[in-house]
Amino acid sequence: MTETFQFKLLATDGKARRGEVSMPRGTIRTPAFMPVGTVGTVKAMYLDQVRELGADIILGNTYHLMLRPGPERVARLGGLHELIRWPYPILTDSGGFQVMSLSGLRKLDEQGVTFKSHVDGALHHMSPERSIEIQGLLDSDIQMQLDECVALPASPKEIERAMEMSLRWAERCKVAFGDQPGKAMFGIVQGGDIPHLRVRSAQALAELNLKGYAIGGLAVGEPQEVMLDMIDTTVPHMPFEKPRYLMGVGTPDDMLKSVARGIDMFDCVMPTRSGRHGLAFTRRGRINLRNARHAEDMRPLDEESSCPAARDYSRAYLHHLIRANESLGGMLLTWNNLSYYQDLMAGIRKAIEEGRFADFMAETQENWARGDL
Ligand SMILES: Nc1cc(N)c2c(=O)[nH][nH]c(=O)c2c1
């Protein structure tokens, strides 16, 4: 651990990178998957379980936390780490993405976003400066700039407008963040599915000399090949020596293919949300435990797994719990899924260290294709 924010590259294998982000609250081994701790909890998990599975960092959603318990209250209670009992790094998003997807958006202009809370209908305004202020009150370790993510498909004019405003907001967020040695503010590359706008955004953000950079505006419903094309377009214009974070991604296959293109950090609700709905991720692909074919299958999800949820419970029981809408069903499948995601990231890191990432990727995809155990 260090008193400052540092990123160092330990190994590369093709475009894949093995690195470490060192911060006062801990070290993040990259490539890293960040479980989403939406409202100060990784849903259906105890945070010590999340840590035991290998998570070095979790994500908090600024939109949800600003509505309740509220940033000033969290600050009075000692900050988010103290409140939720997670002493390791936390990354917070800016809130803008969820304002635009969850709230009753009322106005979006140069000053920021004005919206009605989905909780109580109260009116809120969030400027770039307020977003950074809120993330500071939460005592977030990695803070994201406020940006505007345009849902695809969208017109080139609309995508360019949003990208240029996001660049201006990035400059305002940098000023508001100031100089916080043990913390970082990341910029977010926008530009939709238009290559020259992606390049413009990445190059302009690089000029700001921020501590890390995210690729936003993807995982918003576009086909995987479009996402991968935009990663290929954007990464060469992102600073090589800074961490690269692909927001909202993704499935295990998305992450493998993105690591192969030079991405270091991921977050996604996929393992937690789909676990609560009965979907299990395993080394032999996905298993939907709602399916009647599991009703009398006494096999575990994966007897070779180190996770008790995968090794010690039958598919029949998991099927029963999910069909009965019992909390334990979502708890066990969330536990299994986060275990699988973290095991996959650990396998990726080791493969890059040993110069065999391409073989690891091919073997992993072959196992998925072989189907259920
Ligand atoms: N898929 C995405 C998930 C996200 N949380 C974000 C975000 O927070 N900001 N900007 C983005 O473009 C974005 C995309």
Nearest-CA residue for atom 7 of ligand 1: 97
Residue 148 has pLDDT above 80, yes or no: yes
Q: How is residue 247 annotated by DSSP?
A: T
DSSP of 123-142: EEEE-HHHHHHHHHHTT-SE
Sign of CA dihedral 352, 356, 357, 361: negative
Q: Tell whether ligand 1 has an atom less than 6 A from the beta carbon of residue 147.
A: yes
Residue 257 has pLDDT above 70, yes or no: yes
Q: For residue 316, what is the enclosing H or E element?
A: helix 315-323
Catalytic residue among 13, 93, 141, 147: 93
Query: What gap in Å lies between CA 21 and CA 242, rounded to an integer?
Result: 10
Q: Which of 217-221, 238-242, 272-276 shows the lowest mean pLDDT across its residues?
A: 217-221
Rounded distance from Cα 214 to ligand 1 centre (Å): 9
Cβ(74)–Cβ(138) under 8 Å? yes
Query: What's the pLDDT at 59?
Result: 98
Give the position, in ligand 1's atom list, of the atom nearest the Cα of 94. Answer: 8
Count how many residues are written for the chain: 373
Rg (CA), the chain: 20
Residue 101 has pLDDT above 90, yes or no: no
Note the pLDDT tens digit of each residue in 158-201: 999 999 999 999 999 999 999 998 999 999 999 999 999 999 99
Q: Tell whether ligand 1 has an atom less than 6 A from the beta carbon of residue 248.
A: yes
Q: Tell whether ligand 1 has an atom less than 6 A from the beta carbon of residue 100.
A: no
Q: Work out the average pLDDT over 94-113.
A: 89
Query: What gap in Å lies between CA 189 and CA 176, rounded to an integer?
Result: 19
Sign of CA dihedral 239, 241, 242, 244: positive
Query: What's the pLDDT at 371?
Result: 85
Nearest-CA residue for atom 11 of ligand 1: 216
Percent of the chain with pLDDT over 70: 99
Cβ(215)–Cβ(247) under 8 Å? yes
Cβ(297)–Cβ(315) under 8 Å? yes
On the 0-12 / 13-18 / 19+ scale of CB atoms within 10 A, 297 is middle
Q: Using most ligand atoms within 8 A of CB, pick from 65, 108, 134, 149 the residue to mutate for ligand 1.
A: 149
Q: Which of 174-178, 220-224, 236-240, 331-335 shows the lowest mean pLDDT across its residues?
A: 220-224
Query: What's the pLDDT at 104?
Result: 74
Q: Residue 276: what are its φ and ψ, rounded to 5°?
A: -65, -20
Note the pLDDT tens digit of each residue in 30-76: 999 999 999 999 999 999 999 999 999 999 999 999 999 999 999 99
Q: In this predicted complex, what is the ipTM? A: 0.95
Q: Tell whether ligand 1 has an atom less than 6 A from the beta carbon of residue 170.
A: no
Sign of CA dihedral 167, 170, 172, 174: negative
Residue 1 has pLDDT above 90, yes or no: no
Averaged confidence pLDDT in the chain: 96
The residues with which 267 forms a beta bridge, in sequence order, are 34
Query: What's the pLDDT at 311?
Result: 98
Catalytic residue among 139, 193, 254, 267: 267
Q: Tell whether ligand 1 has an atom less than 6 A from the beta carbon of residue 192.
A: no
Query: What's the pLDDT at 147?
Result: 98
Q: Tell whether ligand 1 has an atom less than 6 A from the beta carbon of residue 148.
A: no
Q: Tell whether ligand 1 has an atom less than 6 A from the beta carbon of residue 264.
A: no
Q: Work out the average pLDDT over 231-255.
A: 98
Rounded distance from Cα 222 to ligand 1 centre (Å): 13
Residue 372 has pLDDT above 90, yes or no: no
pLDDT band at 2 (very low <50, low <70, confident <90, very high): confident
Q: Using most ligand atoms within 8 A of CB, pick from 145, 188, 258 the residue to mutate for ligand 1.
A: 188
Six-digit token string for 101? 């997807």
On the 0-12 / 13-18 / 19+ scale of CB atoms within 10 A, 303 is exposed
Residue 111 has pLDDT above 80, yes or no: yes
- The Cβ of residue 160 has, within 10 Å, a number of other Cβ atoms equal to 20
The question of whether 93 is a catalytic residue gets the answer yes
Note the pLDDT tens digit of each residue in 306-339: 999 999 999 999 999 999 999 999 999 999 999 9
